[in-house]
Amino acid sequence: MELSRKRLRWSCSAPSSMNCWQPTLIPLLKQCNRNLSIILVASELPLALIRKARSEGIFYHALKPTKQGDEEELRQAVKCAFEKDDAKPCS
């Protein structure tokens, strides 16, 4: 967890051997801050869980980078999330 520029950056990761993911975390985080931009990074999730995460309000779903150079999509998503956040007045 890192506090920077009055923003909380938080990430949660699980070993690739885990085959279950709990989408209940998204509504919990949204209750704390409804304007929170959540970026879901996962390589293999069932389509039903991705749909559930989208319906709960994730900002972006990115595939987990597998080789060097693949992280550009994620960088762009993070940049866009911060730009979206900067456009809103702080509450």
The residue ranges of DSSP E strands in the chain, in sequence order, are: 2-4, 7-9, 39-41, 60-62
The whole-number pLDDT of residue 18 equals: 44
Interatomic CA distance for residues 81 and 40, integer angstroms: 12
Confidence of residue 1 (pLDDT cuts 50, 70, 90): very low
Ramachandran quadrant class, 54 (left: phi over 0; alpha: psi -120 to 50; beta: rest): alpha
In whole numbers, what is the pLDDT of the chain averaged over residues?
A: 75
SS3 for 40?
strand
* 25-45 residue pLDDT tens: 888 888 888 888 988 888 888
The whole-number pLDDT of residue 7 equals: 52
SS3 for 34?
coil
